[in-house]
């Protein structure tokens, strides 16, 4: 963890503790006032209420929307709603965009239609497109009626693309210019803006039909003579994206070429939007979500027991099924285990090491898929390499464990079985660790989603089967 990240986490931790103390103090004093039987009780209670919440409100006003979003995610539901009520109305939309989907759902459920419409109405079209899937249908219809014709068309366009496509996250706020004007004219045009769109490092050059011609980086605009024309200094070999392209591919391109912004072109090569680096950071963050490895959809840390159980249920049900399979594998060798009790103590070692080895391989595979490094052309070579690594590790560590097992139980043949089981189990683990994420991607699913759960099921079942099967063949 670098210094900047550590300092950011420490700052957030301090802010969270301060907010929690203020909330606790408010609850304590409010509870004391409730227990007192005094004249003008309601007036005293109201004054105390305002006194403590005013300090919280002032604290929130000083925080960035992203920091408030983190606070909301870190607080239980009652405290979260207390903080949410203190946020100024004009900031609601920004914060709703920053929080996780699960927390956003809880906040929206606490708002009435009028509040949601007001919050959504303050957002840009591309931001509204991000929020739209979570809005009630009648609220979205009301918001769209309040948009201009161009904005409504942009929103409908963004909503027509799948969540993982470029068109769903593209930004419509950009600066376009013509190639036949001078740089002096461009500068005069820019001075008419109160502010440039965020992450504007280049201007998009178009013709009369919005056909894309190139980009004019701001550095070239500032460093060239004002009387030169845009066509003379613009870059024609710019990186562009199609709206139906994959967002994760675009994120990798941003990382590879150090992009800040890039145009999105339709099939007729007309500029219809742009991608920015902050959108790509969100894509990368979503792709690296550790919850997906465990088969979990995004979950609110403080959601109800019922919601959390329902979210985790499907994969737990799968685990139960695979556990029954593993138990039946062991049950098939009850006679073998009864004759050689040492097998019961050694077989978890085989399956456990196989699972750990497979997890290492699977992590590399998922990372390679995310970076676009694994293709049909190199997949076979990758499988051969990982199988070779598994063979080497199986022989080395299998031999070590075999010697230990043979010495502990005074049975050299048991040590040989242990070594053979390690070699075969690691081979199976490596193969499963490659094929599971590759198969998930082939089916159009996130390669990381649930891969760890499936890998554990395979390595446990096959580890038990291999070890007990070898023991039955050579020891009984």
CA angle 173, 174, 178 (to 5 degrees): 145
For the segment 52-79, what is each residue's pLDDT rounded down to a tens digit? 677 888 888 889 998 999 899 888 888 8
User: Quick one: fold of 305-474?
Assistant: Tetracycline Repressor; domain 2 (1.10.357)
What are the domain boundaries of the chain?
A: 4-164, 176-288, 305-474
pTM of the model: 0.69
Tokens standing for residue 263: 């145009």
Between the CA of residue 358 and those of 379, 439, 456, what are the distances in Å?
Answer: 17, 16, 9
Judged against a pLDDT cut of 90, whether residue 266 lies above it is answered with yes
Domain 176-288 = CATH 2.40.110.10? no
Asked whether the predicted pLDDT for residue 43 surpasses 90, the reply is: no
Q: How far apart are CA 50 and CA 226, in angstroms?
A: 58
What are 369-382's pLDDT values in tens digits? Answer: 876 778 777 888 88
Give pLDDT, residue 166.
Answer: 95
> Which residues, including other chains, have CB under 8 Å from residue 392's CB and lie 6 or more apart?
none
pLDDT tens-digit readout, 415-462: 999 999 999 999 999 999 999 988 888 887 777 777 788 888 899 999
Superfamily of domain 4-164: MgtE N-terminal domain-like (1.25.60.10)
Share of the chain above pLDDT 90, in %: 38
Q: In the chain, what are the helix, strand and coil shares in percent, each to the nearest 5?
A: 70, 5, 25
Give pLDDT tens digits for 414-425: 999 999 999 999
């Amino acid at each position: 963890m670098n210094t900047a990240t550590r300092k950011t986490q420490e700052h957030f931790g301090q802010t969270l503790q301060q907010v929690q103390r203020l909330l606790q103090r408010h609850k304590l004093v409010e509870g004391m006032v409730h227990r007192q039987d005094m004249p003008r009780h309601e007036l005293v209670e109201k004054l105390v209420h305002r006194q403590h919440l005013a300090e919280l409100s002032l604290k929130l006003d000083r925080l960035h929307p992203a920091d408030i979003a983190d606070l909301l995610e870190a607080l239980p539901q009652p405290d979260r709603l207390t903080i949410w009520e203190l946020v100024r109305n004009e900031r609601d939309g920004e914060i709703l965009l920053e929080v996780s989907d699960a927390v956003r759902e809880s906040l929206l459920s606490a708002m009435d239609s009028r509040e949601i419409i007001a919050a959504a109405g303050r957002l840009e079209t591309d931001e509204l497109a991000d929020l739209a899937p979570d809005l009630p249908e009648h609220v979205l219809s009301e918001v769209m009626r309040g948009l201009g014709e161009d904005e409504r068309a942009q929103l409908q366009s963004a909503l027509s693309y799948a969540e993982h496509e470029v068109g769903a996250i593209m930004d419509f706020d950009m600066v376009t210019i013509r190639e036949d004007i001078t740089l002096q004219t461009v500068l005069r045009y820019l001075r008419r803006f109160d502010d440039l769109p965020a992450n504007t490092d280049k201007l998009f050059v178009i013709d009369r039909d919005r056909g894309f011609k190139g980009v004019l980086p701001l550095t070239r605009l500032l460093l060239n003579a004002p009387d030169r024309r845009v066509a003379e200094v613009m870059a024609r070999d710019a990186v562009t994206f199609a709206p139906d392209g994959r967002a994760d591919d675009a994120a990798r391109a941003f990382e590879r070429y150090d992009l800040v912004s890039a145009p999105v072109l339709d099939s007729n090569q007309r500029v219809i939007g742009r991608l920015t680096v902050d959108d790509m950071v969100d894509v990368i963050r979503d792709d690296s979500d550790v919850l997906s490895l465990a088969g979990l959809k995004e979950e609110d840390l403080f959601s109800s027991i019922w919601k959390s159980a329902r979210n985790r249920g499907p994969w737990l049900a799968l685990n139960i099924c695979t556990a029954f399979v593993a138990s039946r594998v062991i049950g098939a060798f009850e006679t073998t285990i009864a004759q050689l009790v040492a097998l019961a103590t050694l077989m978890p070692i085989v399956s456990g090491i196989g699972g750990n080895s497979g997890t290492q391989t699977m992590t590399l595979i998922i990372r390679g898929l995310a970076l676009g490094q694994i293709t049909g052309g190199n997949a076979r070579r990758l499988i051969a390499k990982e199988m070779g690594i598994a063979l080497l590790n199986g022989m080395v560590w299998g031999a070590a464990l075999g010697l230990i097992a043979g010495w502990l139980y005074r049975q050299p043949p048991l040590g040989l079985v242990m070594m053979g089981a390690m070699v075969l189990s690691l081979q199976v683990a490596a193969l499963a660790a490659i094929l599971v994420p590759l198969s998930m991607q082939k089916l159009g699913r996130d390669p990381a989603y649930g891969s760890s759960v499936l890998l554990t099921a395979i390595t446990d079942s096959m580890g038990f089967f291999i070890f007990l099967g070898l023991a039955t063949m050579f020891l009984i």
